[in-house]
Amino acid sequence: MFRTEGIDETSLFLRFGIALVIGVLIGMQRQYAFDVENRELVSGVRDFALMGLLGATAAYISELTSSPLPIAAAVFIMGGLFAINHYIETSQGEKGITTEVAALLTILVGALAFWNQITLAVALGVAIAVVLSVKPELQRLTKRITREDIWATLKFAVITAIVLPVLPNENYGIPPLDVINPYKIWLLVILISGISFVGYFLIKIVGTQKAIGLTGLFGGLASSTAASVSFSQRSHDAENLAKPLAVAIIVAWMIMYGRVVVEVAVLNIELARMIMFPLLIPVAGGFGACWLLYRSGLTKERTDVTFNNPFELKPALTFGLIFAVILLVSRAAQVYLGDMGVYISSTIAGLADVDAIALSLAELSSSDPDGLDPRTAAKAIILASAANTAAKGGIVMFAGTALLRRAIIPGFILMLALNLLAVLLI
């Protein structure tokens, strides 16, 4: 607890001011949400502003009296009033306690502001306002979520909160190949699954029947390979959408490069800085290809592309196994074949999965001073990205229509060539 004797007047006014501003922010959101004609608003901007001040004042009095009773009484009394109001609203056919809960949180956030937990108080205030504001989006999301999505999310929670903590955080293997760390491997499985989850649920929120380029953007987060396959198959059902589908595929490939940088940064920020600008070169080529396709004329059609939930236990275990094997092979290639062995193994691995090889190289180049040279790792990651782009281009060439192939070939060749050119910049 903070003693009031040590609080100067300026700090005191600042804390109460922040409590007031947070209350006003939440109150504005509530007033906007209930801005319906002929409907009386129970709690608006003034009410929430006063609740923020009430929390700060109650906390201040608790400090003065060295007793928790004032803040407890404020929460208890206001909670009782909200309960009575909720009972009346329920009898009139109203449902939900969102406003009441938000009001109680505003009081508590006001108390946090007085206790000088400014950063936490502001973060909570913004979070409350955001959660209250995204009601339509959350409602759309819940309508689109399936039972399988919920089950997959629960399994993801299990591997994150239950499995990860019990795994040993130590290296196994015979030196110098002792690079298998169960905890780190599983942590990276969670990282990749989490990124894919974000892309998948963004697609769920905006819907797949949106602009094709937007679906390609989020599809690249979920899986650029899956996006390539889905859009290529879709080209057979709507040949007039060849150019928009080509744009969506290229956008998904561009997002792949961003994924690689983010994944590497989690393990090795210096390596991420080394590859960031070289990987911007093929991304710039992708932008150029999309611009040319746009200038050549795109239809305004929308399309529906299917993306399955990216998390299942079997694929997650498979990725973990692939990552461990690639980590071991990359280490062996480094030890016994030198840099050329790393380049060859990375290119081959990149044909199947760029995430696993990028994370493996990031781990090997950051594990110890005698590990993989960062410059070699950076070149190998860029080669793996080129191999992955080539593999996805092959998928489009094989699975797409002739019109889609003609639309995407210039962008595909440009991005691949620039990707290979980026190796020379390391």
Q: Could you give the angle at which helices 269-295 and 242-267 cross, rounded to 10 degrees? A: 170
User: Amino acid identity, residue 307?
Assistant: F
What local confidence, expressed as pLDDT, does residue 195 receive? 64
How far, in Å, are 109, 226, 281, 408 from residue 285 at the CA level? 48, 22, 6, 12
- Cβ atoms of 72 and 45 closer than 8 Å: no
DSSP letters for 82-107: HHHHHHHHHHTT----HHHHHHHHHH
SS (H, E, C) 379-421: HHHHHHHHHHHHHHHHHHHHHCCHHHHHHHHHHHHHHHHHHHH
- The encoded tokens of residue 329 equal 């092979």
Angstrom distance (rounded) from CA 183 to CA 190? 11
Query: What is the residue-level pLDDT of the chain in tens, covering all 426 positions?
Result: 445 555 677 888 999 999 999 999 998 888 776 654 444 555 678 889 999 999 999 999 998 888 899 999 999 999 888 888 878 877 776 666 888 888 899 999 999 999 989 999 999 999 998 888 877 767 766 776 777 777 777 777 877 788 788 888 887 877 777 778 888 888 777 776 776 666 666 666 665 445 566 666 766 776 788 778 877 877 787 667 788 888 889 998 999 999 899 989 988 999 999 999 999 999 999 999 989 888 876 555 555 555 555 556 676 777 778 778 877 887 788 778 888 888 998 898 888 788 888 988 998 887 566 678 899 999 999 999 999 999 999 989 988 889 999 999 999 999 999 999 999 888
Domain ranges of the chain: 4-133, 140-425
Bridge partners, 180 (sequence order): 172
Residues 6+ apart with CB under 8 A from 41: 30, 31, 34
Closest C-alpha to 245, from 237, 260, 235, 255: 235
The number of beta carbons lying within 10 Å of the beta carbon of residue 171 is 16
